[in-house]
Chains A and B, each alone.
Chain A
Amino acid sequence: MNTDTLDLPEVDDAWAWMAACEERGWGDGLPTIPPTEERVATMLAGAPSVDLGPLPPRGVTPTLRSIAANAVMAGCRPADLPVLLAAIAAVQDEAYNLHGTLATTHPCAPMVLVSGPVRETLGLNSGGNCLGPGTRGNAVIGRALSLVLLHVGGARPGVLDRSTQGSPAKYTFCFAEADSPFDPLAVQRGFAPGESVVSVMAAEPPHNVNDHGSTTGAEILLTVAGTMAQPGSNNVYVRGPHLLLLGPEHAATLHRDGWTPASIRAHLWEHARIPVAHVSEGNRRQFVEWGVEPDGDAYTVSDAPENLHLAVAGGAGKHSAWIPSFGGTALVSRVVP
């Protein structure tokens, strides 16, 4: 018998298993699948080896078996495991600041964006409602990552996860990027076309950008800039990365008009500005303590145009999303093993 196994009383129905989890402080409040040894062994058949470090705040290093147990609980299929492993490796990058992002009062969640052929292999949704429910892979991979951080990392809400309000994204926040007229995010970040890549960021839930009226790329970017220019974002003073997730119709219009990811970034850097008058005096003092001063009569939305990442996802309709971050984090990408 392994030392990581537990003998629990037989449970005769799903509700009894839920109650057993609740007693132990396991789970996210939704039903889980019992991680029996047989199911964990099935999950691990053919699993790649990865080198993982300790997970804060508890400092315990996950094993493949404990990761697989959480994957089973979340509802993963064995084929999902490599993407989950890449995501865990990515959030362990020092630049991601896992401890800070798990313990903060901010509502950030570990966003997982999947690029490359693995999207098709796993049937991940990059189209309509890709940020919402309805696709197993999207739902269970993001959920499994959250469960690993909860169970092995110890980021239990109200205890070591000190989020003031939390967010629905903490349950699961995983989606695939769509094919688009622009280079995929992974290629923009230097990965080869055809590689399967996972990118993570400690992110707020998406902020919708509704623009049904604009007919040119410049007009769409005016709406995007206005959506990004909000004084309540961490990015304003903690700085760090943020993501513009263009819906395919907005992306097509921008591409038609000659815009590129680089020119979109540069344009939004210049035009997404927060007027000083929109920031309270108390907050201005706090921004100064963080070393942030206005540029003329407005604040920038982060510290450099390169911190705005750009990808395309979604279905029909004239919506895009701006996804701000915790600020003190990085968008980190890893190849799926």
Chain B
Amino acid sequence: MRIVDPTSGIAPSETVAVAASSGSPAGALCGLSNSKPGAHDLLEAIGRRLADDHGLGPHGLEAKPSAAVGADPALLDHLAARYRLAVVAIGD
């Protein structure tokens, strides 16, 4: 049976990888808050644990401007350029 794929469409144009700048400290870690209550506290605690237990850091903390909208591409590019790894809070 030949069907039309209901998931098909025009794929997004190829994304461009943003390399972390050479000035970024190796292992620089970021928490990206979804701006829900408690997200900052949760991410700060995770950052401390990662630093204490695994030596990961320094730890930065960024946030979406509002919990009601997706992260702006410019913010994601900024994180990609500045940090090696981001932990994203997606729950409440």
Contacts and interface: CB of A to CB of B under 8 A. Distances in A.
A278 to B, nearest CB: 19
Contacts of A30: none
Contact of A99 (B6, B10, B70): B70
Contact of A4 (B8, B68, B70): B8
Interface in B1-51: 1-12, 37
Given A100-B70, A238-B68, A286-B37, A54 B5 contact: no
Contact of A97 (B7, B12, B69): B69
A138 B90 CA distance: 34
B6 A34 contact: no
A5 B70 CA distance: 32
Contacts of A326: 68
Interface stretch (A7-15, A213-221, A295-303): A7-15
A69 B5 contact: yes
A151 B68 contact: no
A68 B68 contact: no
Interface residues of A, number: 51
A151 B6 contact: yes
Given A61-B10, A69-B6, A104 B1 contact: no
Contacts of B66: 328
A294 to B, nearest CB: 19
The residue in B4, B8, B10, B11 that gathers the most chain A C-beta atoms within 10 A of its C-beta is B4
B2 A26 contact: no
Interface in A236-252: 238
Nearest to B37: A286
B2 A151 contact: no
A65 B4 contact: yes
B68 A5 contact: no
Contact of A147 (B3, B4, B6): B6
B92 interface: yes
A137 interface: no
Contact of B69 (A8, A26, A99): A99
A66 B7 CA distance: 7
- Contact residues of A: prevailing secondary structure: loop
Contacts of A70: 6
A10 B1 contact: yes
Given A35-B3, A36-B3, A59-B12, 9 more contacts: A8-B1, A36-B1, A37-B3, A60-B7, A60-B12, A66-B5, A70-B6, A100-B69, A152-B6
Instruction: Give 6 closest A-B pairs by Cβ, nearest first.
Output: A328-B68, A4-B8, A59-B12, A60-B9, A99-B70, A69-B4
Interface of B: 1-12, 37, 66, 68-70, 90-92
Interface of A: 1-11, 26, 34-37, 40, 54-57, 59-63, 65-66, 68-70, 73, 97, 99-100, 103-105, 147, 151-152, 154, 162, 164, 238, 282, 286, 289, 326-328
21 contacts: A1-B2, A6-B5, A9-B1, A35-B3, A36-B2, A36-B4, A56-B70, A57-B70, A59-B11, A59-B12, A61-B12, A66-B7, A66-B8, A66-B9, A69-B3, A69-B8, A97-B69, A164-B92, A289-B37, A326-B68, A328-B68
